[in-house]
Amino acid sequence: MRKAADGPLAGTALVKETCRLIRLARSRWDAHDNLGCRTERARALALYDTLTKEQKEEIPQVLRVWLRYRSEKYFGEGRTPPKRR
């Protein structure tokens, strides 16, 4: 894990950290941990939005699709809200 004193991420380290966060969010999703998934997805999305077009292409397509489209269905603004008991 990275320490805050190491400074801001750049280049390859930024791409690797983004991939790591997306994979972590997916593993939380698979474990049915919606709050953890939502948190890690938000972190990954924040980093993903800082990447250049070339850096975004370095991220495997499977991870990009999950982050931008599939997870948007469940965590986006237009999602169906959970039912209250």
Mean pLDDT, rounded, for 17-34? 91
Which pLDDT does position 6 carry in this prediction? 60
Which pLDDT does position 34 carry in this prediction? 82
Which pLDDT does position 44 carry in this prediction? 92
On whether residue 42 sits in a domain, the answer given is: yes
On whether residue 79 sits in a domain, the answer given is: no
On whether residue 85 sits in a domain, the answer given is: no
Burial class of 55 by CB neighbour count within 10 A (0 to 12, 13 to 18, 19+): middle
Which pLDDT does position 58 carry in this prediction? 93
Question: For residue range 29-79, what is the model confidence (pLDDT) as tens digits?
Answer: 899 888 888 889 999 999 999 999 999 999 999 999 888 876 666 676 776
Burial class of 48 by CB neighbour count within 10 A (0 to 12, 13 to 18, 19+): buried
Number of domains observed in the structure of the chain: 1
On whether residue 80 sits in a domain, the answer given is: no
Which pLDDT does position 82 carry in this prediction? 67
On whether residue 40 sits in a domain, the answer given is: yes
On whether residue 36 sits in a domain, the answer given is: yes
pLDDT reading at 84 higher than 90: no
The residue type at 18 = T
On whether residue 28 sits in a domain, the answer given is: yes
Structural domain boundaries enclosing 15: 9-73
Q: What one-character DSSP code corresponds to residue 24?
A: H
On whether residue 2 sits in a domain, the answer given is: no
Which pLDDT does position 13 carry in this prediction? 87
Q: How many helices (H) and strands (E) does the chain have?
A: 5, 0
